[in-house]
Chain A
Amino acid sequence: MLRYTLRRLAYSLPVLVIASYILFWAVRATFDPLAKLRQSTDPGAVRRQTELLGLDRSVPEQYLLWMKAFVTGDWGTSTRTSGSVMPMIGSALEVTLQLMFWGVLFAAVIALAIGIYSAARQYSAGDYVLTGLSYVGIAMPAFWLGLVLIQVLAVWPRQQFGLSEPPLYFVGLHSVGESGINLDYFRHLALPVVTLTIGLVASWSRFSRASMLEALGSDYVRTARAKGVPRRRILFRHALRNALAPFVTVVALDAAVLVGGLVVTEQIYAIPGMGRLFLSSILAGDVFVLIPWMLVVAVAVIAFNLLADVAYALLDPRVALR
């Protein structure tokens, strides 16, 4: 398995290098890191900063300089904040991983439960209701859902019941002066996690239902039924285990996307994670943050892919990693 993992990582390197160059070029061609100086009354401001940032060099030259420093462990300096890039990404990643952890955990459990129920009671009223709700969940964009949840679960209860503060918060991950994992943290975390969970459950429950139905319709389940194996045992021992393998793959792949894909959720709830870092960096044309950001997200995708492969092999003994 180690050899398989190393081989996968080695295959990914050229992809990362090419992707990082394309991103570097695209950001340079599209966004202007000197935009805030373009309207300055100081005629020398643009010229000074162009020289300072090396923007007078060609894009391949700028990229090579950055790459040379990067491979020696220097992640560079943000043109937007003058700060080191590594701690910026580190702290954003830590925040996003918290959201992801809770969101994926709840979503996976709920989606699996819905999938099992719907598959076991296919075409029942409950199955139709859950199917309908999942389509509603899929159709709801995060920015709309987030605002509705804020209004319904935070603003409205406070106004309706005359509370001194809302039952759930929605600005950041802590109140002023608070830190660590405590009640205040969970009151802040609840709404973004619910927003994330609803979207994930909606799509994953469809997938788990389909996987379970496929497993329940297979020959080995029919054989087990013919042998008189109890229904619960068939469901959880025979069908679920086989249905889990593709489900886990989908969860892992989707979770990888979340590392950089929570832009809207983080923006609504003012959470300083990877999505918000991406947004502020791209608007400022801060290529020296964007490239490491992209590489971190790419590494996360590779890691979660590997995780999916490993999980698949563990869940299905017929699969061997070579």
Chain B
Amino acid sequence: MIPERTGHRPPRARRLRNPVAGALAALTVLVATACTSGAPALAPGTNSIRNVPVKEGGSLVIGAEQEPDCADWISTCAGSIWGSYLMQAQTIPQVFTVVQRGKDWVPVPSSLMAGTPTTEVADGRQTITYTLNPAAVWSDGQPITSADLKYTALQIRDGKDIFTQTGYDLIDTIATPDARTAILTLKSPYANWRQLFGAEYGVLPAHLLEGKDRNEVMKNGYGFSGGPWKIASWIRGTSVTLVPNERYWGPKPHLNKVTFQFTTDTAAEFQAFASGQLDALYPTPQLDVLSQINSLGGSADMQVETRTGNLQALWMNNAAFPFDSKAVREAFAYSIDRAAIVRKLFGSLGVTAPAQSFLSPLVSAFAAEDFAVYQRDLTRVGQIMTAAGWAKNGDGIWAKDGRAAQFTIVSLAGNQSRELTEQILQSQLRQAGFKMTIKNTSAANLFGKVAPAGDFQLGLWNLTDTFPEPTLDASFGSGSIPSDANGNSGINFVRANVPGLDALLGRVGSDVDEASRLEASRRSEKLLAESVPSLPLGAVPNILLTGKKVGGPISINPVQGPFWNLAEWGLAK
């Protein structure tokens, strides 16, 4: 699990908005609402799949809010979630894909595989066997082989400029007994093994990249593909164009061409959609965006996915006053009406209940509901604080040993929904006897300096899960507290050190027995709720807007993005 979405993949910090964009967005609401009326088709929050029959041929132009920095998906210059949506998901084959089963998202083998990869643990080492689909070929007709898996794994494990080596750093050996079989041996068990060659990286063609400078070949776009589309062009600052990969072994795309046009300004993006220059949009679900969606009238269809990997939470610094006291953290949790905040933010999109776990809906299979005990109850707040030796001062604020329970919250400056959340919190907390001030900052400062240094009391930011596997050890394991020992690179920014939690989270991360892992996850959730090191607020939904021209089964995949099944899109009949 990774905090925040501001534009990058593991830190899926999707869009770093600038003040200009904020002002523009607000203005567009005024301008656009003055000229149109009505609301897009399909009620928000329904999560239903719009499936309009399509015809063969034609092209679409889709707005992209962000331009990827580069297309070498395993290097540090990549990491843009939009890069993954636009090019990686369309051209790079992955071992596992993610589908919804009931209310849960689960990883399943992709069409690249001949069957489900198998794994076993012996003598403390884990072995994973992959068997590739013989029909799987690259766009030049060469088969996708075990050599490709080996090349990819070793590039990531041994490379220097690598975005994340998590999981791959455990690789001991990778054997390729034949072209269709790869056997990966890990030095120690890794429960998230399905993520290898999956969500983040996929598989690269060894026959085209071996012995070459991979970054040089790939960074500006590449000609090969192992997916339904090929990159026809990437004009920096302007657009990415995809055309069908004629050799793709699965269903071929209906469209002849799809262009992603970079429209980094949200307000102008909506106007381009309204004027027909763009056929689809995937906007960040900000407050202003919701107003703009209403201004589109009946000219658009809207898909809303509420079971996403994005979770908004309140982060209490367990090493800073007053949240170094468990009683204060508990009282704080009982002071807040989380349901009211969630309804205010995303109620119109169907998110009406607060999150009761730090595992996002994407990882709901491992989640429990232990945080449900924290409902707003001011009587309980009084009891907890009084029992811990606090008393209200003349201003009605809890105080102890001459120090009042006042603190500062930090979040991203210019983010309207965060600012609204802070204002509601301020009001609710004041009634409960806490005084909160707001001091927001930039994402770079917050995640580059403030949070790693622990220089905050209360924070408001998102966690993003990128695969349906729990990784709470990164956020709450004591080994992830930024320190000299880990090069100040851990992301347990709240300095949580809950007795017994490390062992449980360790099991969640390494136990390949699913039942045992699930049990450990549920117990860790219970422990987290009891010690309440922080407080989950609610899931952040994703929105996809399509014009009437667009057909096909349109829905959002929280891992592979809104264009995960672009091959099935087409011009509506």
Q: Give the distance to chain A from B427, nearest Cβ to Cβ, in Å.
A: 30
Is B365 in the interface zone, CB < 8 Å from A? no
**Given A43-B486, A267-B265 in contact, is the A81-B219 Cβ separation under 8 Å?**
yes
B3: which A residues are within 8 A, CB to CB? Answer: 39
CB-nearest residue of chain B to A42: B164
Known: A39-B3, A148-B31. A155 touches B271 (CB 8 A): yes
Interface string of A206-225 (1 = CB under 8 A from B): 00000000000000000000
Tell me the A46-91 residues at the B interface (CB within 8 Å): 46-49, 52, 79-83, 88, 91
Q: Which residues of A contact B129 (CB under 8 A)?
A: none
Comparing A29-37, A115-123, A233-241, the segment that makes contact with chain B is A29-37
How long is the Cα–Cα vector from A269 to B277 in the complex, in angstroms?
Answer: 12
Measured CA separation A157–B120 after assembly (Å)? 65
Is B35 in contact with A151, judged by CB distance below 8 angstroms?
Answer: yes
Contact of A43 among B24, B69, B215, B490 (CB under 8 A): B490
- Which residues in window 263-322 of A have CB below 8 A to B? 263-264, 267-272, 276-277, 279-280, 283-285
Q: A36: which of B8, B61, B271 is its contact (CB, 8 Å)? A: B8
List CB contacts (< 8 Å) of B225-248 with chain A: 236-239, 241
Is B457 at the interface (CB under 8 A from chain A)? no
Q: Which residue of A lies closest to B192 (CB)?
A: A41
Q: Is the CB of A52 within 8 A of B160?
A: yes
With an 8 A cutoff between CB atoms, is B169 at the interface?
Answer: yes
* B91 CB–A CB distance under 8 Å: no
B237 touches A272 (CB 8 A): yes
Decide if A45 is an interface residue (CB 8 Å cutoff). Answer: yes
Contact between chains at B11 and A38 (CB < 8 Å):
yes
Bound together, the chains give a CA A144 to CA B25 distance in angstroms of: 10
B residues within 8 A CB of A159? 35-36, 274
Considering the chains assembled together, what is the distance between the CA atoms of A166 and B11 in angstroms?
38
Q: Which of B73-81, B142-150, B560-568 contacts A (4 or more CB under 8 A)?
A: B73-81
* Cα distance A250–B220 in the bound complex, in angstroms: 41
A80 to B80, CA, bound (A): 11
Beyond A80-B69, A166-B276, is A147–B28 a contact (Cβ under 8 Å)? yes
Given A176-B239, A270-B262, A284-B69, check contact A36 B79 (CB 8 Å): yes
- The answer to whether A82 and B271 have CB atoms under 8 Å apart is no
- Residues in B neighbouring A268, C-beta threshold 8 A: 24, 265, 267-268
The CA-CA distance from A82 to B216 in the complex, in Å, is 9
A38 to B448, CA, bound (A): 6
Chain A contacts for B35, CB-based, 8 A: 151, 155-156, 159
- Determine which residue in A38, A52, A158, A172 has the highest number of CB atoms from chain B within 10 A of its CB, and name it: A38
Judge whether B164 and A164 touch: CB under 8 Å.
no
Q: Which residues of B contact A172 (CB under 8 A)?
A: 238-239, 261-262
**Pick from B448, B451, B480: contact of A34, CB under 8 Å:** B448
Interface residue? A201 (CB, 8 A): no
Distance in angstroms between the alpha carbons of A169 and B215 in the assembled complex: 35
| Residues B267 and A147 in contact, CB atoms below 8 Å apart | yes
Instruction: Please state if A41 and B10 are interface contacts (CB–CB under 8 Å).
Output: yes
Chain A 165-179 per-residue mask, 1 if CB under 8 angstroms from chain B, else 0 = 110011111101000
Q: Is B530 positioned at the interface, with any CB of A under 8 Å from its CB? A: no
Task: Please name all residues of chain A whose beta carbon is closer than 8 Å to the beta carbon of B219 when the two chains form the complex.
Answer: 81-83
Indicate which residue in B27, B443, B447, B486 contacts A144 across the interface (CB closer than 8 Å): B27
Q: Are B275 and A43 in contact (CB under 8 A)?
A: no
Instruction: Report yes or no: A176 in contact with B32, Cβ–Cβ below 8 A.
Output: no
* Chain A stretch 138-162: residues in CB contact (< 8 A) with chain B: 143-144, 146-148, 150-151, 154-156, 158-159
Decide if B449 touches A272 in the complex (CB within 8 Å): no
Expressed in whole angstroms, the minimum distance between the Cβ of A262 and any Cβ of chain B is 12
Q: In the complex where A81-B77, A82-B215, A147-B24 touch, is A38 in contact with B239 (Cβ < 8 A)?
A: no
Whether A182 sits at the interface, judged by CB under 8 Å, is no
Give the residue of A35, A43, A80, A148 whose beta carbon is less than 8 angstroms from that of B444.
Answer: A35
Q: Could you tell me the distance between the alpha carbons of A271 and B474 in the complex, rounded to whole angstroms?
A: 40
Whether B2 contacts A41 by the Cβ 8 Å rule is yes
Cβ–Cβ contact B268 & A269, under 8 A: yes
Across the interface, B278 reaches (CB within 8 A) one of A52, A171, A173, A267, namely: A171
Verify if A92 is at the interface (C-beta below 8 Å from B).
Answer: yes
Instruction: List 4 extra interface pairs beyond A82-B219, A164-B276, A270-B265, CB under 8 A.
Output: A39-B4, A43-B480, A45-B165, A80-B69
Residues of A participating in the B interface, judged by any CB pair closer than 8 Å: 31-32, 34-49, 52, 79-83, 88, 91-92, 95, 143-144, 146-148, 150-151, 154-156, 158-159, 164-166, 169-174, 176, 263-264, 267-272, 276-277, 279-280, 283-285
Q: Can you give 12 A-B contacts (C-beta < 8 A)?
A: A45-B162, A143-B27, A144-B27, A147-B27, A148-B31, A158-B276, A170-B272, A174-B238, A176-B61, A176-B239, A268-B265, A271-B237
Per CB-CB distance, the 4 closest pairs between chain A and chain B, nearest first, are A272-B237, A32-B448, A39-B11, A42-B164
